[in-house]
């Protein structure tokens, strides 16, 4: 059954609270999340995608269904947190990039990083690993101003050009 995340959706919509996503204790988000990663990871990806849809008003086209995840590969932006009260260190999910691979065409469908971690070079740092994994890829349109600025800064060329 598709995950609704209604409580988090309400929080984000009404109270503008957007939460980095905490893994279960002793669990780790995969660097690359696919349909074969734990189902719980899908839920957190969907949650961050929801935050982006509220911010960018670009529609919510993601859920946890196998249909949605069949051709999907996600990249996890992670930040380590140490909670000294319980002596516990975990890597929280603070952003995601989502790729699809359809008819031999790979597309970066979206990328969203929690505002607290923007402008710190996270996407720039991850970019070479995107190229290493996919080679050339498309970037979906329409693009936000920040994505346009980013693509210019890395000299991105559309593969069809
Ligand atoms: C777009 C986004 C993913 C960029 O990630 P980021 O980790 O903050 O980007 P980086 O820190 O790696 O930025 C690298 C370069 O991109 C450019 N850039 C980043 N944010 C920018 C902005 N808001 N406006 C213009 N250029 C920007 C800068 O040139 C920067 O280079 P510099 O560090 O040499 O100045 C992030 O800003 C974000 O999540 N934005 C909101 C969601 C969004 O717009 N997503 C794209 C739609 S798919």
| Residue 94 backbone phi and psi in degrees, to 5 | -115, 0
Q: Is residue 148 predicted with pLDDT exceeding 90?
A: yes
Percent of the chain whose pLDDT exceeds 90: 76
CA of 140, closest atom in ligand 1: 48
- pLDDT tens across 67-76, in order? 999 999 999 9
* Whole-angstrom distance, CA of residue 54 vs CA of residue 57: 5
Three-state secondary structure call for residue 116 = helix
Instruction: Quote the pLDDT of residue 4.
Output: 67
Is the CB–ligand 1 distance for residue 150 below 6 Å?
yes
Three-state secondary structure call for residue 100 = strand
Is the CB–ligand 1 distance for residue 145 below 6 Å?
yes
Higher pLDDT, 86 or 106: 106
Predicted TM-score (pTM) of the model is 0.94
Residue bearing the CA closest to ligand 1, atom 17? 150
* Alpha carbons within 13 A on the beta-carbon side of 129: 13
Domains of the chain and any CATH numbers: 19-153 (3.40.630.30)
- pLDDT tens across 88-99, in order? 899 999 999 999
Q: Is residue 3 predicted with pLDDT exceeding 70?
A: no
């Amino acid at each position: 059954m598709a995950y609704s995340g209604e409580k988090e959706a309400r929080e984000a919509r009404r109270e503008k609270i957007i939460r980095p996503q905490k893994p279960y204790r002793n669990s780790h988000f995969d660097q690359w999340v696919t349909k074969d990663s734990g189902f719980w990871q899908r839920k957190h990806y969907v949650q961050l995608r929801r935050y982006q849809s509220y911010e960018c008003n670009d529609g919510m086209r993601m859920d946890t269904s196998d249909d949605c995840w069949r051709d999907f590969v996600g990249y996890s932006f992670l930040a380590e947190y140490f909670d000294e009260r319980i002596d516990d260190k975990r890597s929280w999910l603070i952003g995601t990039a989502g790729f699809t691979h359809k008819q031999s065409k790979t597309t970066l469908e979206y990328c969203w990083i929690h505002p607290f971690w923007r402008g710190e070079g996270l996407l720039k740092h991850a970019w070479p690993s995107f190229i290493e994994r996919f080679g050339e890829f498309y970037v979906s349109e329409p693009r936000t101003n920040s994505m346009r600025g980013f693509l210019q800064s890395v000299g991105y060329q559309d593969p069809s050009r």
